[in-house]
Amino acid sequence: MPSSYRAIFAVPGTRKFSAAGLIGRLPLAMMGIGIVTMISQLTGRYGLAGALSAMLAMSAAVLGPWISRLVDRHGQARVLRPATLIAVASVAGLLLCAQGGAPDWTLFVFAAGAGAVPSLGAMVRARWAAIYRGAPRELHTAYAWESIVDELCFIVGPIVSIGLSTAWFPAAGPLLAAVFLVVGVLWLTAQRATEPVPQPREQHTGESALRSPGLRVLVATFVATGAIFGGVEVVTVAFAEERGHKAAASLVLAVYALGSCLAGVVFGVLHPAGPPARRWLVGVCAMAVSMIPLQLAGNLPFLAVALFVAGLSIAPTMVTTMALVEAHVPRTKLTEGMTWTSTGLAVGAALGSSAAGWVVDAAGARAGYTVPVAAGAVAAVVAFLGYRRLRGPVAIRGGRGADDQEPDKHDERHVA
């Protein structure tokens, strides 16, 4: 492990809460695809499977920020455990109803309840922010590390979920995802020494973190970015199936995540110069441009190489996004602010996957790659239009973000 990464783990407890976060985040990569695999095997109805996956994503998008707002007010342990209980009970109900052939509406009810899964990535990043507030180099590396963990989850999670559901029994993937969630949350919330201390009640204004103009720009851009991810996933599966190698789709998508993972490793060590807002804009534009070569893919090896290159811009952009959230959201709303970016990605992924599926059905898999290209163009336009808001002063009642400094000064500290 490079010395920069070893240094951030010198603080007692950091290894444990990061490991707990890894386990607790695996369901994010396993649950949706596991439900699709389970329902398609049990019923043969891909439309129902996709609709349930979309219901899960949209429910998480609605419930996630609300849960994180409660965490900012009351602490992780008090909120995450009951939220996880609701999510796991809903997953259990979904699995039982699917196995028992219950009416479709019951599946949608339980899929909606399963959206109460807390954002473990935001919880872990909030712990890093509390530990390394005022130490921008270490915090940059910590955010890079967590982006690496995210990509590892998306490399391993789908392969494990699909593999278990097809080789063992249909519900095996979602069931194991629920087990990982329980273990991760219980382990994380048992670590009270590193848990961020909730701010006094009088510092909470009752307003959403979305009152920040900068956060709104980030979330809007991430909706388009999520559409890139959702579109690429659906079209890649269709592309592989058209060429008679559907099972290879998971490996090709793993290469996509691998590119991001490796870029995150390097980015966490480099500490690049320049204001974070500018780096973020460059990263979003790079993600958009990297979608263009996918339309030239004629075979799986070429597609894998193109996706690997496309993945190189993901983790650095995500790391920079977390730094911008910290700068533009008050400390009392930091977990909620980080969760809103994940919400934007989830909403965008649901929209992108739906649009991509429609295009694939109408014109074939290769034409489907126009969806991530279009989504990338939208992301770049929104990023350009909102760039000034990310550079300007924080305008949120209830306190400034990060270290209560002007954003320009904060930017300079992050690249010192």
Does pLDDT of 406 surpass 70? no
Q: 398 — phi, psi (to 5°)?
A: 105, 15
pLDDT of residue 38: 86
Q: How far apart are CA 35 and CA 25, in angstroms?
A: 16
Higher pLDDT, 131 or 246: 131
Mean pLDDT for the stretch of residues 133-137: 82
Please give the residue range of the domain that contains residue 399.
207-416
332-354 pLDDT, tens per residue? 788 888 888 888 887 888 788 77
Higher pLDDT, 362 or 183: 183
71-87 pLDDT, tens per residue? 888 889 899 999 999 99
195-246 pLDDT, tens per residue? 888 865 545 455 677 778 888 999 999 999 989 988 888 788 788 878 888 7
Does pLDDT of 402 surpass 70? no
* 100 lies in the same domain as 147: yes
Does pLDDT of 1 surpass 60? no
- Residue 403 within any structural domain of the chain: yes
* 71 lies in the same domain as 189: yes
Sign of CA dihedral 275, 281, 287, 292: negative
Q: Determine whether 184 is exposed, middle or buried from the number of CB atoms within 10 Å of its CB (0-12, 13-18, 19+).
A: buried
pLDDT bin (cut points 50, 70, 90) of residue 416 is: very low
pLDDT bin (cut points 50, 70, 90) of residue 29 is: confident
Final residue of a structural domain among 195, 215, 244: 195
For the chain, what is the domain count? 2
Final residue of a structural domain among 195, 230, 246: 195
Mean pLDDT for the stretch of residues 104-124: 91
pLDDT bin (cut points 50, 70, 90) of residue 415 is: very low
* Chain centroid to CA 123: 13
- Residue 314 within any structural domain of the chain: yes
CATH number for the domain harbouring residue 388: 1.20.1250.20
Mean pLDDT for the stretch of residues 240-264: 84
Lookup: tokens for 206: 């009752």
pLDDT of residue 121: 87
* 299 lies in the same domain as 214: yes
pTM for this structure?
0.77
- Residue 2 within any structural domain of the chain: no
